[in-house]
Amino acid sequence: MTIDCHVALTLRKRNNPEVEVLLGAMQAHGIDKAVIVPVCPGTGEEEMVRINDSVHTEAIGYYAIEGFATVNPRSPAAQEELDRAVRELGLKGLSIDPAVQGFRFGDDEFWSLMEVVNSLGVPVFCRSARSEFFVTEEINETVISFPEVPFIFTQMGLESPGGKFSKLFGEGNVYFETSRVPPAYLMEAVKEYGAGRLVFGSGYRGGQYPAEELEKLQAMDISEEEREAVLGGNISRLLGLSPLAEKGRSRLRGILEGLPFFRK
């Protein structure tokens, strides 16, 4: 099963044309599932609820789509909304972006939110961006303090040219997303931590699918078992998804052909 764990869409309450474009791209490139990872930049409860409800609408409508919740850790309503989005809407984890949302891993508000994440037993998907908010030392402390929470970092936690592929600690609960990472660094990560710590993500944001992100993984000099783990097995395990790839493919095909009984 091939699962793209890093997809962004313009979220609407219903009849979102971007979804059909995404599904077509997925079929063309053999992607079985896509995971929507939104970000709420504001701190208003209404905005967080609207975004999470929209993700739920897309995820509940298609077998080929899963979704993460998003809340802004600086919001007084963050903990309650995350609990609602996971328990009531069935969203798969927490999606955050420190630079966009204006918080640091060392903030008290974020640690309080992490207690909720820990109690819910869901992963955290974090966009990596060089900024005053992405502080490696604070991130490492959080990762160590919540060993039961899987943390997925985009772009493998950022790599500086000529340096080591990531300054993030290689704890067992840290997973590295592969988009925009050169194959040489991906191979270094496999050798140091094993293929079980990488998850495929394309960084798709609408329009043309970034096929090169998939192709570089298909061309890597690793075993087929390792490739299957990176392309879908690892994220499937983290999200508790079904491993039945062919079932997912047939449902996606049915959706694209407009057959209503393939809808959820």
Return the percent helix, strand and coil in the chain, to nearest 5: 45, 10, 40
Average pLDDT over residues 30-46: 96
264 part of a folded domain: no
Q: Does 243 reside within a domain?
A: yes
DSSP collapsed to 3 states, 182-214:
CHHHHHHHHHHHCHHHEECCCCECCCCCCHHHH
Please indicate, yes or no, if residue 148 is contained in any of the structural domains. yes
Alpha carbons 247 and 120: distance in angstroms, whole number:
28
Measure the CA–CA gap between 244 and 143, rounded to whole angstroms. Answer: 31
pLDDT at residue 155 in the model = 85
Task: Give the range of the structural domain holding residue 28, as residue numbers without chain letter.
Answer: 3-258
pLDDT tens track for 89-145: 999 999 999 999 999 999 999 999 999 999 999 999 999 988 899 888 999 999 999
* Average pLDDT of the segment spanning 215-234: 97
Residue 238 sits in a domain of what CATH number? Answer: 3.20.20.140
Distance CA 171, CA 177 (A): 15
Total count of residues recorded for the chain: 264
Residue 58 binned pLDDT confidence (cut-offs 50, 70, 90) = confident
From residue 259, give the alpha-carbon distance in Å to each of 146, 249, 252. 44, 14, 10
Which pLDDT belongs to residue 18? 87
Whether 263 maps to a domain, the answer reads: no
Compute CA distances 45 → 80, 92, 110, whole Å: 10, 20, 16
Backbone angles phi, psi at 152, to 5 degrees: -110, 120
- Residue at 97 is within a domain: yes
* Residue 261 pLDDT > 90: no
Number of domains in the chain: 1
Within a domain: 155: yes
**How many separate helices (H) and strands (E) can be counted in the chain?**
11, 9
Q: Evaluate if residue 10 carries a pLDDT over 80.
A: yes
| Contact assessment for residue 196 and residue 229, using Cβ atoms and an 8 Å cutoff | yes
Alpha-carbon Rg for the chain in angstroms: 18
